[in-house]
Chain A
Amino acid sequence: MGGFGFYGQGLPGIATEELKGKLIVIEGTDGVGRSTHINLLKLWLENNGHAVLDTGMTRSVLAGEGLKAAKEGHTLGRMTMTLFYATDLADRLENEIIPALRAGFVVLTDRYIFSLMARSIVRGADAEWIRGVYEFALKPDIVIYLRVSIEDLITRVIQHVGFNYWESGMDLHLGEDMYDSFIEYQNRILAEFDRMAGLYGFHVIEATGAIDQVFEKLKATVEPLLKLPHLKTRSV
């Protein structure tokens, strides 16, 4: 496997050949268990001698707080939200992800451009336009998509976090209440993910089973990636 590349023109002034680490993306819809698996993965990787950075949406120093504040109100337009998230990601790439990759870290990111594109497309953004915007993004080493059926998703969401305004697509007025809206919205998101799975070569893991079973599959997917010479020598 070669070094890093961008989806398009990339970020000005970044030399990708200096990047030595691994960028692992965990994608999947809300409630699928991404954060649980990222925590497990981080622990396992660190136990095996890899330095790990974990990051996720709205965690940028520049735009994270502003974006969260904007989402509290009701005036955040669809295009504005899309670009606010893009700013957040660009800031994290330049100030967090790329420096960590340069230092040889394994970077685990909770969602990446795919969730952001799916949300925007479902909200009426032009697919080609949004793909063009994210041409600044670094191509990850692997994208792991934790897939779940809508039926399983509902059970999990009710048991754990409950329905959330944005994750139910309430701004789209798709149903009478949060439940109806959630189903319609998540169905559309899942359809968009399935479309992207082929397009971007996702490694799909069925996330319906017990946590430890899913995690075994996750480890088996990640392991070959780290058996590269330069990381092997780093392992203690």
Chain B
Amino acid sequence: MTHGTSRRRWHPLTIAAGLLLAAAAVTGALLLARPGWLPPSAWLVLCAAAGFATSGSS
């Protein structure tokens, strides 16, 4: 893996976009299928976004 690829992978925008994709996936599944394990997954993803949003503290 090149240095440039690594930097793109770990760029804050890449991670934030990944979190948004995960949020969209879990939301779609929650609204369409509604299996019992999905609400905790939705909580996990939304709070991961909240935790990542605090990154200015590093």
| A and B assemble together | no
Which A residues are closer than 8 A to B by beta carbons? none
